[in-house]
């Protein structure tokens, strides 16, 4: 088998993650728009993603342990295989696409997504150096490019739904995954991320105070985003503002692409450039994350009372500003967890952290459907702001010396 350098391994991991992310964004938009078209309520649509997010919690918790024991190539490739199965499950006749059946398919997709993400993020700990700032740059690039491609996936999902229909779109997504899966099976280092000492199952829970506090903050940070972004926003754009599928998909795609771009350049914006600390700058800390979270909380709370004035302008402009600040905060968080993680078996700590991330998305998804259905977009924005303030308070306790 060909031996790849660290940079080549990083490139392979990134390409693998990119392909998966395209399909993940596309399937999210396909399911959301297709079932909204069929007349499902906002809460019903939120339920479709319930098991997706729930199994993300479980997968991150157990997947990190599996990655440390078996190697990250196993968990990464398993994620791709499960995504193919999940996509094929949805190609059945529409009469079988009940809420329960789609929830089951989404459960598999949720497991696949978090196996793939945990593997990609954890592998960088083994491939990059933190001393020179390379770790921060590589994490930011992987995270930012992933989110930009998820935005492209939103657009692809909406375009395929409008152009060739739901079922044919799913076959296209399967084809996108197959090639990187083959390369990954044959070229990805079998020892990547495998712990030198065998981990006990009881070690799936982090014993680090810094990681515990950081994980708690991540829970509320991503819950805050999804409370108004996952269900409330696309339903509001289509049902209240009268946007078409393509318009909704394109707008959300543009937002996520821009969000990913900001994440990718966060090291330059927060003090690291070309692997070196720039003058007057330093690698980010929990204080950096706290300040960004406070700034982020001000945005949705300011949007809520203005929404009745000119809803389209407030939503578009407000979301763009929110996306920039959220991207900076998310990139700093992603660096902190990889930096704090134990060198030997980093996937355990990273998996625990992204378990909290998935938990926040789960609660955010449920609240997105419930809050919007019963109290409207203004309430969704207020609850989002409250969640961000909680994230700001918690992340301040995540100190490296607590490790």
Measured CA to CA in angstroms, residue 260 lies from 215, 228, 286, 328 at distances of 21, 18, 21, 10
pLDDT at 207: 59
What does the pLDDT look like over 177-192, one tens digit per residue?
888 888 878 777 665 5
Domains annotated for the chain, with CATH where assigned, are 6-190+204-402 (1.20.1250.20)
pLDDT at 103: 85
Mean of pLDDT values over 81-96: 89
pLDDT at 171: 93
* CA atoms of 125 and 127, how far apart (whole Å): 6
Among 75-79, 289-293, 361-365, whose mean pLDDT is lowest?
A: 75-79
Q: Cβ(272)–Cβ(131) under 8 Å? A: no
pLDDT at 385: 94
What does the pLDDT look like over 25-58, one tens digit per residue?
898 888 888 887 777 777 787 777 778 878 877 7
Better pLDDT: 80 or 204: 80
Mean of pLDDT values over 376-384: 92
Token pair of 79, please?
């994620």
pLDDT at 2: 56
Among 65-74, 89-98, 281-290, 354-363, whose mean pLDDT is lowest?
A: 65-74
Q: Which long-range contacts (CB under 8 A, 24 or more apart) does 320-323 make?
A: 320/255, 320/258, 322/296, 323/255, 323/256, 323/258, 323/259, 323/262
Query: Is the predicted pLDDT of residue 368 greater than 60, yes or no?
Result: yes
Measured CA to CA in angstroms, residue 148 lies from 95, 168, 364 at distances of 34, 24, 21
pLDDT at 387: 95
Better pLDDT: 232 or 122: 232
Q: How far is CA 188 from the centre of its chain?
A: 23
Query: Is the predicted pLDDT of residue 390 greater than 90, yes or no?
Result: yes
| Residues forming a β-bridge with 114 | none
Among 18-22, 50-54, 137-141, whose mean pLDDT is lowest?
A: 137-141
pLDDT at 380: 92
pLDDT at 297: 94
Query: Is the predicted pLDDT of residue 403 greater than 50, yes or no?
Result: no
Whole-number average pLDDT of the chain: 78
pLDDT at 189: 67
What does the pLDDT look like over 264-304, one tens digit per residue?
777 666 654 444 433 334 577 778 888 999 999 999 999 99
pLDDT at 383: 94
């Amino acid at each position: 088998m060909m031996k790849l350098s660290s940079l080549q391994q990083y490139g392979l991991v990134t390409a693998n993650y990119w392909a998966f992310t395209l399909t993940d964004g596309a399937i999210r938009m396909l399911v959301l728009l297709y079932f909204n078209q069929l007349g499902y309520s906002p809460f019903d649509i939120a339920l479709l993603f319930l098991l997706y997010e729930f199994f993300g919690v479980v997968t991150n918790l157990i997947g990190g342990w599996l990655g440390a024991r078996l190697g990250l190539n196993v968990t990464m490739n398993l994620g791709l295989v499960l995504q193919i199965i999940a996509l094929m499950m949805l190609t059945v006749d529409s009469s079988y696409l009940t809420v329960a059946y789609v929830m089951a398919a989404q459960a598999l997709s949720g497991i696949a997504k978090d196996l793939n993400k945990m593997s990609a993020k954890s592998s960088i700990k083994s491939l990059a150096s933190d001393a020179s700032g390379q770790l921060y740059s590589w994490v930011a690039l992987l995270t930012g490019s992933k989110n930009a491609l998820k935005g492209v996936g939103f657009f692809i999902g909406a375009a395929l739904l409008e152009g060739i229909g739901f079922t044919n779109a799913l076959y296209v997504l399967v084809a996108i995954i197959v090639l990187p899966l083959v390369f990954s099976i044959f070229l990805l280092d079998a020892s990547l991320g495998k712990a030198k000492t065998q981990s006990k199952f009881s070690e799936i829970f982090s014993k680090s105070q810094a990681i515990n506090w950081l994980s708690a903050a991540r829970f509320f940070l991503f819950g805050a985003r999804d409370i108004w972004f996952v269900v409330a926003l696309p339903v509001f754009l289509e049902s209240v503002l009268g946007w078409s599928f393509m318009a909704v998909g394109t707008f959300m795609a543009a937002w996520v692409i821009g969000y990913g771009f900001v994440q990718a350049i966060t090291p330059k914006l927060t003090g690291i450039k070309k692997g070196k600390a720039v003058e007057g700058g330093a690698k980010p800390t929990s204080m950096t994350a706290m300040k960004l979270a406070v700034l982020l909380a001000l945005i949705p709370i300011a949007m809520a009372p203005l929404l009745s004035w000119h809803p389209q302008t407030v939503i578009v402009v407000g979301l763009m500003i929110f996306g920039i600040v959220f991207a900076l905060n998310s990139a700093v968080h992603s660096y902190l967890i990889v930096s704090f993680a134990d060198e030997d078996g980093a996937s355990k700590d990273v998996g625990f952290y992204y378990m909290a991330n998935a938990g926040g998305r789960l609660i955010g998804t449920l609240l997105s459907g419930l809050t919007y259905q019963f109290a409207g977009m203004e309430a969704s924005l207020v609850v989002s702001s409250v969640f961000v303030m909680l994230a700001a308070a918690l992340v301040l306790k995540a100190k490296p010396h607590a490790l």
